[in-house]
Amino acid sequence: MANMQGKTIVITGASAGIGKELAVVYASRRANVVLAARSEEALAQVKQQCEQAGGRALAVATDVADPEACRRMVERAVETFGGIDTLVNNAGITMWARLDEVTDLSLFERIMRVNYLGSVYCTYHALPHLKARKGLLVAISSLTGKTGVPTRSAYAASKHAMQGFFDSVRVELRDTGVDVLVVSPGFVATEIRDRAVGPDGKPIQKSRRDESKGTMDLQTCVELIVRAMDRRDRDLVMTTKAKVAQVLKLIAPGFVDIIAQKAVQDRDS
């Protein structure tokens, strides 16, 4: 277990799900935790939990789709704690619609701005501080960043973009002491699919997938992420099935398409 006492970790999308759980875990390890998300009210609650867990916490209301908001958030983090040791790009939104059902094309741009460009903006502004401390850069991507999934075309595109961006930045940073970890979870028990946007660009409010099947619990997911962060791994694919699928994609891509379709399942079934 890496010593995080006094280290500063910035987490976007920290108001719920993976981001929130990571924040509390690192606060319990006496880290300085910078919480970034849009909801001030939700961040205030997470900040309180982090402080109760034993860490210092700073909540900064941030829309990662706004590059200036990302710059200000990073500045607040450095002003408060003196630097940044780890940045976790976790903020994200998803969708649930076939392309031929979409009636509001702006959802493609919105998802790309949050999931991909939000991580670019935060990384760009945090990078000098990460270099100064030979820190760790983390991208919470998805298996859809490695394999396309039906009804998730915009989400998958944004995660493929993240994968390419962070793979490229990793090479650029080889001699700086900054490591880059890309995390690719599958289905995890969080609220993200309840907030997914439908074909009209509006939240569907309830997951159309049977969440009792094939879904990893949040605690297990975060434990795996924390272990990979402690080891400063370069890539984390969480299940044996997903790892096998990555190999199959090279030799039997059509079969992987069938697996992806079955994993999502028909929404009307």
Could you tell me the residue ranges of all domains in the chain? 8-239
Q: For 153-203, give the DSSP string.
A: HHHHHHHHHHHHHHHHHHHHTTTTT-EEEEEE--SBSSSTTTT-B-TTSSB
Helices in the chain by DSSP H: which ranges?
17-28, 40-53, 67-81, 106-111, 118-132, 153-172, 218-231, 240-251, 253-264
33-68 residue pLDDT tens? 999 999 999 999 999 999 999 999 999 999 999 999
Reply yes or no on whether the pLDDT at 191 is more than 70. no
* Residues recognised as catalytic: 155
| 8-239 under CATH 3.40.50.720, yes or no | yes
Burial class (CB in 10 A: 0-12, 13-18, 19+), 104: middle
Q: What is the pLDDT of residue 267?
A: 41
Q: What is the pLDDT of residue 147?
A: 83
Q: What is the distance between the alpha carbons of residues 223 and 148, in angstroms, rounded to a whole number?
A: 26
Question: What pTM, to 2 d.p., does this model score?
Answer: 0.88
Token pair 């959802």: residue = 107
Given a contact cutoff of 8 angstroms between Cβ atoms, the answer to whether 136 and 178 are in contact is yes
Q: What is the distance between the alpha carbons of residues 120 and 256, in angstroms, rounded to a whole number?
A: 29
